[in-house]
């Protein structure tokens, strides 16, 4: 009897095609996350691609290191404090290449974490209940239409820490009681079905 394709074979292929291959899943997630927001970066200080790559990789290593040593969070407040500190470290580390706003740092961190969930990184899956929804135009639109949560009237990529935290708090209040902002965003992002094609 011939072996048939199993769902795990298909998932393995999709993960390899989207993220690539490496022993370090968090670094794969960080590189993919960078691609998700880098178009919003303006005024690079260097035109040297290798120098940019070096700084990008140092931020990805920073995120990976911080995730590896992070504690088990007891509550939302502990996670939020860790998240804020790491976003500020991302901004500082990247500052030799370009100025990042808090909105850009949250996108990089939150998407790295989201992709790490997809890649089943154990350190991340332990604190899914506390994770933030990655904020971008799609999430802003979904939250406005489905949860009646409205955002500031300027680009998410230029948000300050205070605007970002306020928005996450609004999402926490608005999402259904049986979920969290991260899970709500994960489930509702780009609804897709084969029948729609």
- Span 12-67, pLDDT tens digits: 888 888 888 878 899 999 999 999 999 999 888 888 889 989 999 999 999 999 99
Give the residue from 118, 57, 96 showing the smallest Cα distance to 110: 118
- As a whole number of angstroms, the distance between CA 93 and CA 109 comes to 13
Which tokens in the block code for residue 95? 């500052």
Regarding pTM above 0.75, the answer is yes
- Span 116-143, pLDDT tens digits: 999 988 888 888 999 999 999 999 999 9
* 120 contact partners, CB below 8 Å, separation of at least 6: 25
Res 77 pLDDT > 90: yes
Using DSSP's 3-state secondary structure scheme, residue 169 falls into helix
- As a whole number of angstroms, the distance between CA 191 and CA 182 comes to 15
* 12 contact partners, CB below 8 Å, separation of at least 6: none
| CB of 59 closer than 8 Å to CB of 90 | yes
- As a whole number of angstroms, the distance between CA 135 and CA 108 comes to 10
């Amino acid at each position: 009897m011939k072996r048939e394709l199993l769902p795990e074979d298909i998932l393995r292929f999709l993960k390899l095609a989207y993220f690539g291959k490496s022993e370090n899943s968090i670094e794969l997630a960080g590189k993919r996350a960078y691609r998700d927001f880098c178009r919003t970066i303006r005024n690079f200080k260097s035109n040297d691609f290798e120098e940019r790559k070096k700084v990008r990789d140092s931020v990805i290593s920073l995120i990976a290191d911080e995730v590896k040593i992070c504690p088990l969070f007891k509550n939302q407040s502990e996670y939020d404090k860790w998240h804020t500190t790491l976003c500020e470290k991302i901004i500082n580390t990247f500052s030799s290449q370009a100025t990042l706003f808090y909105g850009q740092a949250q996108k990089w961190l939150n998407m790295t974490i989201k992709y790490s969930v997809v890649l089943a990184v154990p350190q991340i899956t332990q604190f899914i209940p506390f994770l933030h929804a990655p904020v971008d135009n799609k999430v802003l639109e979904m939250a406005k239409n489905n949860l009646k949560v409205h955002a500031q009237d300027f680009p998410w990529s230029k948000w300050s820490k205070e605007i970002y935290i306020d928005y996450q708090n609004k999402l926490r209040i608005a999402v259904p009681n049986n979920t969290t902002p991260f899970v709500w965003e994960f489930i509702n992002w780009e609804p897709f079905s084969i029948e729609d094609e």
